[in-house]
Structure 1
Amino acid sequence: MVTGITFLSLFVLLAAGMPIGFAMGVSGAVGLWLLGGADTVTGVLTTTPLSTVSTYELLSIPMFILMAEFVIVSRIAEELYDAMVIWVGRVRGGLAIATAFAGAGFGAICGSSTAGAATLASISLPAMLRHGYEERLANGVVAISGTLAMLIPPALALVLYGLLTELSVSKLLLAGLVPGLLVTLLIAATVLLLVTQDPSRAPKGQRYTMMEKIRSLRVVGPMLVLIMLVTGLIYLGLATPTEASSLGALGACLIALVRGKLTFASFAAAIASAARTSAMITMIILGAHIFGYALALTQATQMLVDAISGLPVNRYVVIALVLLIKLALGCFLDQFAILLLTVPIMVPLIVKLGFDPIWFGVVLVLTAEVGMVTPPVGMNAFVVARYTGRPVEEVFAGIWPHFIAHILAIIFFVAFPIVVLWLPNTMSH
């Protein structure tokens, strides 16, 4: 009864337009009040904020966000895309393939899916449309390429998953690297398949000399420095994610300064933007903790886990159902909201079924990638539609081939978890 009222109040508040963090906090407080009265609510509300913000690993989120802000200021993304065009632009559909590779590169120094989609939409979309690319193809590849930032370190979604489950954030970030690179190649392969089926969708590009290609790599240097400061140091065991994120933010700031792009105004704007985003995410985590306390007191999660794990079905059937639920939720909710709502229930279940929670985190985030581009609330699709001025339905139409490809990728990673777990199992401790 209490569990039902708690969830009902959550959905009512979300439907009314209340931000997810506040909605979870208020509905969780309602559940706590029904279970233990005002004293229980007061006890949780006076201790949870401090315990939430004092988590050491939480510092990595504002630092990764700040790194992304300085990367945007430095305008590395634009030059990275230009370099990718020089290397693969001659192939039919090369600008779209370059968009996928640039999305992976930007994701490796950004961590935000929406920021990735917005950056690619402003850079690569005009170039593709100017060269006569089919609008559906161009819109679809930009929207899906932006989601690569959710998997490739520093992936904020994986950091949040680690904070919620108290798993190693280092291992989670490394676990997302190989799947992220494979999904990048999958996006490129999907583009090649589409232009092979119908060459009118994309023309061939300009030919470049080897010297021009080599010169274009100068932009890769700063990017490699940032990647080494973050992923490299984590893999070698020389820095924690929090330390690596701080070094990454400092490195991105210095790169913007050396390139002459950092002014007082742009510096202040980057700090303010990072602070706003960090405050929003922190409030979401705080609300999730309050909501989680209410669920824990009702023991609803444990009863649900015991009931599902006791069903006489293969455990892969349960995983399939869990991921289908995640896909369905992705059509209506933001990826952070889905993680916060489902992780406290899903992770105990998959652990009891004998699955690795690190592997599950990567698969869950990959599933969230699909949610970022599926109707009716695919955030990346709306970002691309805003930049192009085209109907969002047109963007969704261009995404469907990539949607099918991503579903196949999810099935592959479920069938072969070693692909996800290999790299984190080899990291230095």
Structure 2
Amino acid sequence: MSASVTGVVGMLALFALLALRVPVAFSMFVIGFLGIWALNGLNAATSLLASEAFTLASSPELVVIPLFILMGNVASQTGMSRQLFDAAYAVIGSIRGGLASATVIGCGGFAALSGSSVASALTMGKVALSEMDRFKYDDRLSTGVVAAGGTLGILIPPSTGFVIYAILTEQSIGRLFLAGVLPGLLLLSMFVLVVTVLCMIRPELGPAGPKTALSEKLRAVSRAGPIVLVIFITIGGMYGGFFSPVEAAAVGAGAVILIGLVTRTMTLPMLWAASKDSVVTTATVMLILIAAHMINPFLALSHMTDLVAQAFVALDLGPMGSLLLILGIYIVLGCFLEGFAMLVLTLPIFFPIVLEMGIDPIWFGVLVVLSLEMGLISPPVGLNVFIVKSVAPGVSLGRIFVGVIPFWLMMLVTLAILVAFPQISLFLPNTMFN
């Protein structure tokens, strides 16, 4: 059997395992190990397994993952995410759809702490869904806005998606974090615009909330002040060159723990629970990354990357046409595959093509991560939709998927804007490093 045929058979077997809901990391371990064994011998497969696992697990850059995850978990345990939501609600909750818009803003704020879309959707769902239900919001809008707002966690830094992209493509984590700031804010604004327009057209979808006095607004904003300050310190510190991403993660995690201790909102059991969740999540991410470093050599040995590159050359689409085709593939794959699995499976194939065509790798990273976001609310997988379903068991999956449609379309519009105007993504990283 030729190397190319072995590669095709291996990829088909991998997709079959994923379709059978075999864990992503285990599927890639098995196919990568067996593929290298078939092409290069058992000794090569076993030595690669040992060396890659150690090399990756001992990489100092990856310390950013557990620290930022810990920062988000502590913020969730101590109720800081609730403070972000309360501040936004106090300011804009009295307008039609204000509670839904406040949910989007709260999701954006929590995304800047956790870096996780699932955590953002789960946390804000627990905080906001009961409030929107109390004020008789249409359940399609309330659940849709939480599911879509939660996706901001993978775009607004610190994003675990950017960290994995950086590791797989050997790009700067700091540049990627900064590249996600303006697109993240743009997408957040687009979501708020969707809520506003929907509630203008159909006021019954999102009734106005009670008016709050100026003093109450100021109190709510002041309570959220410390956590907003942490966000500005971590992101602003990276932009100003004061912190590396790892140092920013350490400062952020330490700051939220200190705030929790000073305000007496955090107990030792809470810290233990946040730490345990952080370890479990970090272990999951690390296993996926190590498995990716098993599947990548197999793809190289089987010449799969060369075959795809030749296919793109034969299509003669040019850089922009090729970019649009790649993004289209990501959007389609997002309907069936989990985001991290898409990254580790496709980047070894697509990234060399992107570099060959002169496409900026940082800009491409933002576009890819936004495409992954769309997959989080795309049927039939739509991970965030199932997360929201677990928080709102009385709402059918069908109604939640209907609720996310306007937000999915706005994500597509945002993706088109970012493709047309690369400067939106590249402005902050270029000004930081130049």
* TM norm. shorter chain > 0.5: yes
Question: What is the aligned counterpart of 1:368 among 367, 372, 375?
Answer: 372
Residue matched to 2:427: 422
Separation in 2 of the partners of 1:103 and 1:219? 17
How far apart are 1:394 and its partner, in Å? Answer: 1.1
324 and 56 in structure 1: CA distance in 2 versus 1, 3 angstrom threshold: same
How far apart are 1:261 and its partner, in Å? Answer: 2.3
How far apart are 1:224 and its partner, in Å? Answer: 2.6
C-alpha distance after superposition, 1:336-365 (max 9, x if no partner): 111111111111111212211100111111
2:75 touches 2:113 (CA, 8 Å); kept in 1? Answer: yes
- TM-score scaled to structure 1, two decimals? 0.97
How far apart are 1:210 and its partner, in Å? Answer: 2.2
1:116 touches 1:147 (CA, 8 Å); kept in 2? Answer: yes
1:88 touches 1:98 (CA, 8 Å); kept in 2? Answer: yes
Question: What is the aligned counterpart of 1:48 among 52, 63, 85?
Answer: 52
Residue matched to 2:113: 109
- Aligned 1:206-217 pairs, distance under 5 A: 206-217=210-221
- Aligned 1:295-374 pairs, distance under 5 A: 295-374=299-378
Matched, 1:405 2:410: yes
- Aligned 1:381-392 pairs, distance under 5 A: 381-389=385-393, 390-392=395-397
Residue matched to 1:393: 398
Separation in 2 of the partners of 1:229 and 1:110? 15
Separation in 2 of the partners of 1:310 and 1:289? 29
2:7 touches 2:303 (CA, 8 Å); kept in 1? Answer: no
Q: Which amino acid aligns with 2:414?
A: A
Matched, 1:17 2:39: no
Residue matched to 1:289: 293
Separation in 2 of the partners of 1:219 and 1:7? 51
Separation in 1 of the partners of 2:424 and 2:83? 31
Separation in 2 of the partners of 1:244 and 1:119? 23
Report which stretch shifted further, 416-425 or 345-354. 345-354
Separation in 2 of the partners of 1:9 and 1:303? 18
Separation in 1 of the partners of 2:330 and 2:357? 18
Separation in 2 of the partners of 1:312 and 1:79? 52
Residue matched to 2:68: 64
Aligned partner of residue 132 in structure 1, secondary structure:
coil
Separation in 2 of the partners of 1:86 and 1:224? 16
1:96 touches 1:191 (CA, 8 Å); kept in 2? Answer: yes
How far apart are 1:378 and its partner, in Å? Answer: 0.6
How far apart are 1:47 and its partner, in Å? Answer: 0.9
Report the aligned-residue RMSD: 1.3
C-alpha distance after superposition, 1:30-72 (max 9, x if no partner): 1101101211112211211111112111111111111111111
1:62 touches 1:275 (CA, 8 Å); kept in 2? Answer: yes
2:104 touches 2:145 (CA, 8 Å); kept in 1? Answer: yes
Q: Which amino acid aligns with 1:191?
A: V
Report which stretch shifted further, 298-307 or 413-422. 298-307
Report which stretch shifted further, 338-347 or 166-175. 338-347
How far apart are 1:214 and its partner, in Å? Answer: 1.8
Residue matched to 1:236: 240
Separation in 2 of the partners of 1:317 and 1:172? 24
How far apart are 1:73 and its partner, in Å? Answer: 1.4
Separation in 1 of the partners of 2:167 and 2:352? 15
C-alpha distance after superposition, 1:66-117 (max 9, x if no partner): 1111111120111211111110011111000101111111111111100000
Unmatched tracts of structure 1, length 5 or more: none
Separation in 1 of the partners of 2:94 and 2:302? 60
How far apart are 1:401 and its partner, in Å? Answer: 0.7
User: Aligned pairs, how many?
Assistant: 429
Matched, 1:78 2:82: yes
Separation in 1 of the partners of 2:170 and 2:287? 18
- TM-score scaled to structure 2, two decimals? 0.96
